[in-house]
A and B are shown apart, each in its own frame.
Chain A
């Protein structure tokens, strides 16, 4: 029952607000906040009860739902999904507290959208039935569309529609793939089922595996977003209100990677191994390209958005190295990117609330009126550029270690991305916080208590992951090993050939 409670708590809170609290901003804001706090507490409780080191799914619930189609309400978590659920509940709480006063018009609908979004996101991570997964995957699109399209910036409708069309095109492809593999399984010795665990053992091969992998992969690559299909992200991020950007960067992008782990690799390990090379190349392009684009952005939010492209490139790079370090690093990088980029968007939001501009050139010398904000900002900037001791470093380091074993050249190119990352983040920090002070902003108030309380958990997490990542690595160790055991036989078959090809191409042999 715990997972069901966790999933539907936010919606229950939203219903309460809708029925009893129309037109009473303080009441519904407080209810929204309390709901997310309780949800976070429940997820912590689940984490406390969770047995680490066990690769199997825990807290499972399984009920028949649409029986004659083999559709079940089946939920459960393993280490990876639990970690992402924790990230979701934490960031939802932070997002609501952080945008307490930013939404002036129709706040009720806004906070309800956020809560529905939370249910959708948790649902995606706990679903163990493909149908249920798809359902939640689609559900979270609608509130996000509204959040961008109604409460967003000047070009909100354009950004919202672009966001929707990209992700929906992806999810339609995914639906085709889901039905194709379900149909294939029911034809080839199986029965009609959407159960993820059953289908993982089905051993898809040949054409069906290739095409389904491709469809799943494109759907998730759009969400991540990977290099050629990333163009919706800067617009969506820039136009979304602060809470929207935090959730989008913090959690929604992770759903893409989660899908790749669960389905692309889980269902079709052989095709995944064959696809290693192209994915690694696209990831490296994303790393460098995203970083280079960040360098020239005049808008702080756009800069952070492009840095997400770069950082998510590290995640896919690590995942598709199929090494222990790479995969663990990828998962850890997801969490730390969620925390740090979420925090950066939150900071930009706090500045925007005061100045109503996001352009770097409008700022300058902000450290003088807002020293506390500048201190927090520096911590997140340093974390994001990969300073040892903070969250960003651990994941990127593990990923580079993992990829260096196979792809020396690519690891080297990817580390250029880190260097550019330091450049654009520090440069932005310098231009906004230091340099000549803009007279207009000298009278601005520093962060208030609510804003500081919002940021403290993020700081705590950034330091915790940076100094003692073992807590989190332990959680994902067993499932990560599980992924590797799945691909191992195919790696032996195709992998060596790939490595030899790379070596021949680039010289740096193992």
Chain B
């Protein structure tokens, strides 16, 4: 292993080292600030490693392929994890007494995601997915005195285990007939097969796709999402929604990259159907939700549907591949920003007994905590795709990619469901700015003053992180070139 290899792998080394250090420190000094600080430092160091790892397309090991796209997403994962640390610090301080394992699990989850982002092989795909999922079981069940959280974790555990089994079986089938586990060979390995071998190959791919679909919560594999989102602790769900989905999505994007669009006919059809179903079901089910967390769950199903539109378009002929990748990378970024901010607001408003979930609890929040209401409004508007927020630019790119691939049917549904989505996002916003104030929001007015100094500081850290996320959402909406240059450079590996 040469120095260059070490450099490429340095983000993984940094993440793994952080996990170990935090775990060991937990055993001896159980101080919350120290643990959170160590985690944040480790993540920051990882981000520095991502910056210096600057990679050409090179296979770091047989399992990992590091290119600019994977590096971009590892960077995104690390930033998301950092934001989750900032949100969790206050949240855990208010609701829990043990902290250490939380940060270890979080770092491990980020590590799993990072492996996924660069996986080039079935083995690394599976490993990454399992590391990510197993840490998520622990994270979701972390408030173990809260039955909803434990229930959500079990639901996730059972379904994810079934999914993993399907994934493994699918991989086995594909390997049995094609003899390869390399992702970029798998896609084209089916060409020469016939008879039962072709059938087994197709069944294997279908199973693998179902496994990925479960993780992404695409319709028809979305059933777990609302329950898990509702039961899990808000910062963890923010991580689940933003980081884990982004990581899995990169696999989808990267493994489809060598696929010949002309021969990918069936796959394009399957993806289109999934995109139609996710956009329609997600948005329709969100319309009349009275529970903010469930609403966000359905909305994230719809958002992933939009992303599949971009993936379908990236499979088109000609120069559109770059456009699709740019759309996916940009949209995943702004989706992560928005969901982090939305769940972050819920996390900041949570107390020891639970989190505010019912929309009615948010009535009048705009007068009691104007900053939080503004953060939630901007992130919801961004999810809805309002101009001047990053969401608009993101949707714009998906449109461009779709128009380039002439996917007019998908685009029309995309446009109409986006219009529909505004209804439920705006319902939340107008609830927050209603003139009358709900008891829950009313109680908030007094609580910041009554907090201890430490808690107030933690609250400030979280609010500062949220404001930063919101500011980035707005900045990317007004002047997207700041991020676009980076993404377009990264996406040029697919040209």
Residues of A at the B interface (CB closer than 8 Å) are 65-69, 105-106, 109, 134-135, 138-139, 142, 145-146, 149-150, 157, 160-161, 164-165, 168-169, 172-173, 175-176, 179-180, 183
- Please state if B387 and A161 are interface contacts (CB–CB under 8 Å): no
Contact assessment for B419 and A168 in the assembled complex, using a CB-CB cutoff below 8 Å:
yes
Binding site for A on B (CB under 8 A): 381, 386-388, 392, 396, 399-400, 403-404, 411-412, 415-416, 418-419, 422-423, 426-427, 430, 433-435, 479-481, 484, 488
Contact B419 A169 (CB under 8 A): yes
Beyond contacts A168-B419, A172-B418: 12 other A-B pairs, Cβ-Cβ < 8 A, are: A66-B480, A68-B484, A69-B400, A134-B387, A135-B387, A139-B387, A142-B386, A145-B426, A161-B427, A164-B426, A173-B415, A180-B403
* Chain B residues with CB below 8 A from A142, complex form: 381, 386
A64's nearest neighbour on chain B, judged by CB, is: B481
CB of B426 within 8 A of CB of A139, answer: no
In the A-B complex, the 10 residue pairs with the closest CB atoms: A183-B403, A138-B387, A172-B415, A135-B387, A172-B419, A169-B419, A179-B399, A168-B419, A179-B403, A149-B430
Contact B387 A165 (CB under 8 A): no
Alpha-carbon distance between A179 and B313 when the two chains are bound, in angstroms: 15
**Contact present for A135 and B388 (CB under 8 Å):** yes
Which of B418, B422, B423, B433 gathers the greatest number of chain A CB atoms within 10 Å?
A: B422
Interchain CA distance A134-B387 in the complex, whole Å: 8
A150 to B426, CA, bound (A): 12
What is the minimal beta-carbon distance from B185 to any residue of chain A, in angstroms? 33
B430: chain A residues within 8 A (beta carbon): 146, 149-150, 157, 160
Tell me the smallest distance from the CB of A211 to a CB of chain B, in Å: 9
A157 surroundings in chain B (CB, below 8 A): 430
The secondary-structure label for the interface of chain A is helix
A334→B430 CA distance, assembly (Å): 32
* B412 interface neighbour in A66, A69, A134, A176, Cβ under 8 Å: A176
Q: In the complex the two chains form, is A172's CB within 8 Å of B416's CB?
A: yes
> Is B404's CB under 8 angstroms from A183's CB?
yes
Name which residue of chain B comes closest to A65, CB basis: B479
Q: Which residues of A contact B416 (CB under 8 A)?
A: 169, 172
| A137 to chain B: closest residue by CB | B387
Contact B423 A161 (CB under 8 A): yes
Bound CA–CA A83/B484 (angstroms) = 38
Given A68-B484, A138-B386, A165-B423, also A150-B435 (CB < 8 A) = yes
9 residue pairs of the A-B complex, CB under 8 angstroms, read A66-B479, A68-B484, A105-B435, A138-B387, A138-B392, A139-B388, A172-B419, A175-B399, A176-B399
CB distance from A121 to the nearest CB of B (A): 15
Query: Which chain A residues lie closer than 8 Å to B481 at the CB level?
Result: 66-68
Contacts of B400 in A (CB 8 A): 69, 179, 183
Residue among B387, B418, B434 with max Cβ neighbours from chain A (10 Å):
B387
Q: Please give, as numbers and ranges, the residues of chain B lying within 8 Å of A150 by CB-CB distance.
A: 430, 433-435
Contact between chains at A106 and B419 (CB < 8 Å) = no
Partner of A146 from B388, B392, B411, B433 at Cβ < 8 Å: B433
Which residues of chain B are near A69, meaning CB under 8 Å?
400
B367's closest neighbor in chain A, by CB? A106
Q: How far is the CB of A152 from chain B (nearest CB, A)?
A: 11
Instruction: Give the shortest distance, in Å, between B279 (CB) and chain A (any CB).
Output: 13
Can you name the residue of chain A whose Cβ is closest to the Cβ of B411? A176
Contact B404 A106 (CB under 8 A): no
Q: How many angstroms between the C-alpha atoms of A138 and B484 in the bound complex?
A: 23
CA distance A157 to B426 in the complex (A): 11
CB neighbours (8 Å) of A145 from chain B are 426
Residues in B whose Cβ lies below 8 Å from that of A138: 386-387, 392
> Given the complex of chains A and B, what is the CA–CA distance between A66 and B381 in angstroms?
21
Tell me the complex Cα distance, A102–B484, Å.
Answer: 46
The CA of A69 and the CA of B484, in the complex, are separated in Å by: 11
Bound complex: CA A73 to CA B484 (Å): 18
Cα of A173 to Cα of B419 in the assembled complex, Å: 10
Contact between B433 and A68 (Cβ–Cβ < 8 Å)? no
Chain A nearest CB, measured from B214 CB (Å): 31
CB contacts (< 8 Å) of B484 on chain A: these are 66, 68
In angstroms, Cα B422 to Cα A169, docked, is 10
Q: Given the complex, which residues of A lie within 8 Å of B403, measured CB to CB?
A: 179-180, 183
For the complex formed, measure the closest distance between the CB of A163 and the CB atoms of chain B, giving whole angstroms: 11
